[in-house]
Structure 1
Amino acid sequence: MIRTAPAHVWAFDLEWVPDTASGRRAYNLPPDTPDADVFAAMWAHGGATEQEPRPYLKTMLCRVVSVAVVVRKVQADGQVFLGLTSLPHEGEEGLSERQLLDRFLTSLGTANPKPALVGFNSRDSDLPILIQRGIAQGVSAPGFCHRPEKNWEGYDYFAKYNEGHVDLKEVISGGWGKSVPRLHDFAAACGVPGKIDTSGDNVLDLWLAGNTRAIVQYNEFDALTTYLLWLRTAHFAGHFTDEAHAAELTRVRDLLRKRIANGQTHLRRYVDKWDALAAIDH
């Protein structure tokens, strides 16, 4: 179970698609091979079947196209700042993968104090792809990669038993067996919005259609869900009282209300789903 509720938390989520450049290199395909044929080759090498035509590919061969983060930071005066940020920003749909990773990892590595990362299935997926694609894209991320000499001297994003990185999937299930839930299952049981309209299976279709904004919006929903589930888990562990947990939920709703008023109307779908789930009796 999680040991603390840190003063600075980033609940994060990434979205990625097969990277055709990596696919051409990995499988010796000519440079002019159509993207559709590259995807087919990558899936074939990944073990595609009639039942699963698009198998999960090795993350090294995929391209990160979006990152979303809910930031919670207790400030010096005790006030709690809560924010939601994502990349690419609106109008930056042409942001390269290298630029996206560099911007995110630099922000993470230079944040003061260093935030604790919270994800869902992040130890097996989100964290490895950050590392792998950062290396592949030639990103330098010394702040993110810094490791303290001793486990208790600071956050270490790479150590399994350091609170610098909390994978909620591991925390609640042990990481294997029939007790392992999907993010949507965990969220549904807690009355929190899970997948809304989009799932990871059709991110590629959105990408091919040039609908990067829909990917980012879906990514923000997953980051919000991950954050709300972290709050529930921290409350379960005794790090928030009932009253404090309720206050944290109010902060999330206030954040969403302000963002919707400022034009981020896609978040209305998240609020509406949250309200609908709250109306279902336990």
Structure 2
Amino acid sequence: MRWQKQPVHYPYEHVVCYDLETITDQEMQDGSFPPWPRHRPVAGSFLTAEWSPVGYRFKLDTLLCREGREAEFYRKVDSLLPPGGMGVSLNGRNFDNAVLRLQAQRNGLFDLRNIARQAESSRFDVAHLDLLDVFGARPGTSLAELCRALSIPVKTSVTGGDVADLWRSGNVAAVKAYVQEDVIATYILHLHAAAWREGHERQLVLPLADLAIWLEGEPGLRHLLSFATCRPARWARSRAPALRAAAALAEAELRLKREQDEAAFSAR
């Protein structure tokens, strides 16, 4: 009998999407992107999305890595990464996870098991999903290019090339807003990939509609409202009521069938 590879079942019910902003102390003379071991994080944003029977719940944590408090930063990162859920990133397998692992070691931290789980995951592992792998993109493909193709707003005021100057000038608020934009855009990109992989729009429609409502209700995230009104979000919100109604009807029919079966069994 020929062996067949079993399909991967991704834990969509608990996802942490994350992104780092980094700087280097030594730039390349030719202006090219420095090798990843030269990079150290200055900020990271982590969007936790958890499914519950009443819908998706979200939490956005954004961390700054201050000089002299690096160990605190890496321990907090470790606490935010899911021990049983799935981490999602764009190029995290080759950059973010590698940087986190190396810099944690540099700071004498060897017990960060959640960072280790992300960093040691393989391609298409359920511990960590790299969207470059999912979209079949080559290293160097940018978040901006992928998002632009899907009408997801990204890089609205700042680009990655601005981060070092902003950080060194003390404009940490701009760095923080930028990494938050990137992580929300990455999550919406992930939802598109999930819907395509599973062959059903609900994997995009329901969490994105809930995300848009959540963003509108968070006063501290007003700068992210473009994600609640972008074309994919508007489409998701128009489709969500019908999908929820269909799901409720299916659940009611299943419950009625179960009750009928139980009644028939009791009557024997």
TM-score by length of 1: 0.71
- Quick one: distance in 1 between partners of 2:202 and 2:114? 34
> Which letter does structure 2 place at the counterpart of 1:4?
Y
Q: Does 1:81 align with 2:57?
A: yes
> Which letter does structure 2 place at the counterpart of 1:170?
D
> Which letter does structure 2 place at the counterpart of 1:204?
A
- Identity, % of aligned pairs? 21
CA radius of gyration, larger in: 2
Corresponding residue for residue 35 of structure 2: 58
Aligned residue-pair number: 229
After TM superposition, give the deviation of residue 247 of structure 1 in Å. Answer: 2.1
Deviations along 1:13-62, one digit per CA (max 9) or x if unpaired, are 0001114xxxxxxxxxxxxxxxxxxxxxx22xx3x22xx3xx32233322
- Quick one: distance in 1 between partners of 2:222 and 2:59? 16
Matches within 5 A, 1:55-134: 55-75=32-52, 77=53, 79-88=55-64, 96-108=69-81, 111=82, 114-134=84-104
- Quick one: distance in 1 between partners of 2:91 and 2:119? 17
Q: Does 1:264 align with 2:221?
A: yes
Deviations along 1:107-153, one digit per CA (max 9) or x if unpaired, are 32xx5x62211101111111100101111112243432566xxxxxx
2:221 alignment partner, SS class: coil
> Which letter does structure 2 place at the counterpart of 1:65?
V
2:214 alignment partner, SS class: helix
CA RMSD of aligned residues (A): 3.0
Q: Does 1:202 align with 2:152?
A: no
Question: Structure 1: 5+ residue runs without aligned partners?
Answer: 20-41, 148-154
Corresponding residue for residue 33 of structure 1: none
> Which letter does structure 2 place at the counterpart of 1:85?
D
> Which of 1 and 2 has higher RCO (CA within 8 Å, sep 6+)?
1
Matches within 5 A, 1:18-57: 18-19=24-25, 42-43=26-27, 46=28, 48-49=29-30, 52=31, 55-57=32-34
- Quick one: distance in 1 between partners of 2:155 and 2:225? 14
Task: State which drifts further: 117-126 or 94-103.
Answer: 94-103
Corresponding residue for residue 254 of structure 1: 213
- Quick one: distance in 2 between partners of 1:264 and 1:95? 28
1:264 alignment partner, SS class: helix
1:135 alignment partner, SS class: helix
Which structure dedicates a bigger proportion of its chain to helix? 2
Question: Structure 2: 5+ residue runs without aligned partners?
Answer: 1-6, 236-268
Change (3 A) 1:84 1:263: closer
> Which letter does structure 1 place at the counterpart of 2:146?
F
Change (3 A) 1:95 1:83: farther
TM-score by length of 2: 0.74
Q: Is the 8 A contact 2:16 2:49 kept in 1?
A: yes
After TM superposition, give the deviation of residue 202 of structure 1 in Å. Answer: 0.8
Matches within 5 A, 1:199-238: 199-238=159-198
- Quick one: distance in 2 between partners of 1:270 and 1:79? 18
